[in-house]
Amino acid sequence: MTAFVLPSSVTVVDHPLVRHKMGLLRDVRTPTALFRLLARELSLLLTYEATRNLALETVEIDTPLEPMQAERLSGKKLCFVSILRAGNGILDGMLDLVPSARVGHVGLFRDPQTLRPVEYYLKLPDDLVNRDCIVVDPMLATGHSAVAAIDSVKKAGAKNVVFVCLLAAPEGVECLTQAHPDVKVVTCAVDRGLDDHGYIRPGLGDAGDRLFGTK
């Protein structure tokens, strides 16, 4: 078997705080409320990396002591697109950091036999062509749902797309980067691989069930 090589388009955020919080997130003993809080905190840290290349402009402001040149965001506005339902578990943390962002939703469920995504809901801003787009889902497992969601946002006009997840598998990374080589991926970790049921190992279980207490 060929060894997996992480593509240059994938950024693993390996800050000590991220690694610490991911260890807590993975732990089977972590209760729902703490799992949800950790996912929200991790989403903040991931958003810093995902928005690293946002354009800035210089503006004149007055501090309490004197005028100065300060920097503010400029250019295209952001849109976060959550893959339902688990994507909402990290969406709120991202909105804490960028409250002015527009929000879209893609509803997908995985066919248990084929493991392929089936779209049941799609609601995106009308002006997606004028916005940088960050698609969010806690897990990048087979990669099929991520690819389908990115297909939809690109079809709606998005030109610059980033995919953000808490955890990825090599199979998902390869699937996404082959289908969308222009899309940057930001994640906390890339695990060993998938089991026969399409779950990431060692992973953290079903992110949606752990976020919403439905396990």
What residues are labeled active site?
A: 110, 114, 206, 209
Quick one: tokens of 114? Answer: 């084929």
68 carries a ligand binding annotation: no
89 carries a ligand binding annotation: no
Nearest-angstrom CA–CA distance, 177 and 196? 22
110 carries a ligand binding annotation: yes
> What sign does the CA torsion over 144, 150, 154, 160 have?
negative
Beta bridge partners of 12: 187
92 carries a ligand binding annotation: no
139 carries a ligand binding annotation: yes
C-alpha distances out from residue 35 to 9, 13, 27, 32, 206, Å: 28, 19, 9, 5, 12
The string of DSSP codes covering 58-121 is EEEEE-SS-EEEEEEE-SSEEEEEEEETTTHHHHHHHHHH-TT-EEEEEEEEE-TTT--EEEEE
187 carries a ligand binding annotation: no
108 carries a ligand binding annotation: no
127 carries a ligand binding annotation: no
140 carries a ligand binding annotation: yes
40 carries a ligand binding annotation: no
- Residue 128 phi/psi, 5-degree rounding, is -60, -25
The binding site for uracil consists of: 200, 205-207
The binding site consists of: 85, 110, 137-145, 200, 205-207
The binding site for 5-phospho-alpha-D-ribose 1-diphosphate consists of: 85, 110, 137-145, 206
